[in-house]
Amino acid sequence: MASRRSLMLGGALVLTLVATWYAASVDEAADEMLAAPQRAAPSGRTAAPGGAAAPNTALDVAVGREPAERDANEPQRMARDGGNLFAAQSWKPPPPPPAVAAPAPPPRAPELPYRYLGRMEEDGRVIAFLAEGAQQQPRVVRQGDLLSNYRVDEITPLGMRLTYLPLNETQRLLFGSNP
């Protein structure tokens, strides 16, 4: 019984030594494949356009990756990391792109500084009475008159049309809208 047991242990020892030797030879082959990009391309490798050696597909299979899954920036990343396959990587998402500021709205004419006081017709022409600004200074205006930054384009029984001269923007002041 003891001889059978020692025979089994001896066989297990031999199998362990063979498995260790095989694993070491596989590691050496993998090390050679990883060091291959640093040496000249072996005859089994083809040159890619631009003179660079094509990536070794055996290395891709050894790493468990399909050749089509290769990262396009892998050569630059490998050069940057010094060939370190285990360089630290961040899994954080990239920062969002900077927000693009909305274009400023086009300039607009300010609110009319005039308030309607009344109107009068004289010789077929309409004359309007306006109060200007916070001081409520009275103004008498006719069609074609120039006020500060405004031109009176038209006076009708319903209101008047003014043009803000710096922006050439038309504004209306309706009679009866301001008590």
Mean pLDDT of 22-29: 79
Say whether pLDDT at 73 is over 70: no
Higher local confidence (pLDDT), 95 or 73 = 95
Average pLDDT of the chain, as a whole number = 77
Say whether pLDDT at 170 is over 90: yes
Digit-coded pLDDT (tens) for 3-18: 888 889 999 999 999 9
Whole-number pLDDT of residue 47: 46
Digit-coded pLDDT (tens) for 136-157: 888 899 999 998 899 999 998 8
pTM above 0.85, yes or no: no
Nearest Cα neighbor of 164 from 104, 106, 110 is 110
8 A C-beta contact, residue 79 and residue 87: no
8 A C-beta contact, residue 109 and residue 164: yes
Higher local confidence (pLDDT), 65 or 112 = 112
68: amino acid identity, one letter: A
Query: How far apart (Å, rounded) are the C-alpha atoms in residues 60 and 66?
Result: 6
Rounded to a whole number, what is the distance in angstroms from the first to the last CA of the chain? Answer: 122
**pLDDT band (50, 70, 90) for residue 35:** low
Task: Report percent pLDDT > 90 for the chain.
Answer: 25
Say whether pLDDT at 118 is over 80: yes
